[in-house]
Amino acid sequence: MKTDDPTRWGVTSLRLQRPEHVYFDGAVRPWQDASFHVSTEAVVRGLNVFEGLKGHWQVNGQFAWRTLQRHYERMRRSARLLHIPVDFSYQQFEDAVFAITRAELIREKDLYVRATLFVVAGHYGEGTVADLVLTAYRQETTPPAPITAGVSTWRRSPDVSMPARIKTSTNYQIARLARIEGKSRGYQDMILLNQAGRVAEGIGACLLLVRDGRVYTPPTWEGALESITLEMITELAASTGIEVVRRPIDRSELYIADEIGLTGTLAEITRVSQMDDFALPDETPILSKLAQRYRDAITGVDPHPAMEMSPLVEAPVG
């Protein structure tokens, strides 16, 4: 049955939260003090690149961030393609993440940080100056619940228009339109097709499709983000005897799949219970196994080399 419940992956809780602090202009500051002039390219053209970071409480009582180094490197790649300077090192990036963590972390919640590099000075590539802004949102520590999804009429832009490998808000304009479309049709998420009519990815996560015991996912040249989470899922799957194959996926395969899921920083591995008007099986032996292995790795129950965790040594004050 369709639903218009928008709470998947804690997105609603992100939208409704108003944190006390924000990392802005090189320091943790009161939330209301972070602002840009209306003439900046961050405002006029929405010029930015960003990363979504997730930190989790560990079984040993520590709090740790997942794959910070990989996110930093992907931000640098995105910025390079948009000619945005990155004038801070990985250590400075990590220090900034830990600073906002100390300000917003409480023991009952995990934390999601949106790390955005906004262009605050310059014009059409001349004299470009950027500022790193970190906003932190509290998240439930439980895994995400199953969702419903549909196929959007909106299409992923090709690489020669706006490359999907650039993680920029510009690329999420189509996602926004797809989200609005999905809500009008009663779906919690939507699948974007590429210009050839094949599957690209979900609104904010990559697709996992199971057929005959194998997991299939679209390659980057089909319009999918170069996903850090997907890379880790692939390594986790190999260690559990599950094969992940990257190949083009036709729309019709969505309706005959054994299992479908979405994977990303917030999504983790989220099971899709319905695709358009087609109900999917309740039993998901492959994706459920992968999802549990992922949770065990990110919480320290059963660490995995693919899951690089950066612990916050100091105990939070909250």
Amino acid at 270: T
pLDDT digits (tens, 9 = 90+) for 248-279: 999 999 999 999 999 999 999 999 999 999 99
Amino acid at 94: E
pLDDT digits (tens, 9 = 90+) for 149-187: 999 999 999 999 999 999 999 999 999 999 999 999 999
Mean pLDDT of the chain: 93
pLDDT at 17: 85
pLDDT digits (tens, 9 = 90+) for 179-203: 999 999 999 999 999 999 999 999 9
Considering only CA atoms, which of 39, 35, 3 is closest in space to residue 22?
Answer: 35
| Total-model pTM | 0.92
**Please, is 2 exposed, middle or buried when counting C-beta atoms within 10 Å of its C-beta (0-12, 13-18, 19+)?**
middle
> What is the set of domains in the chain, with CATH numbers?
8-139 (3.30.470.10), 147-298 (3.20.10.10)
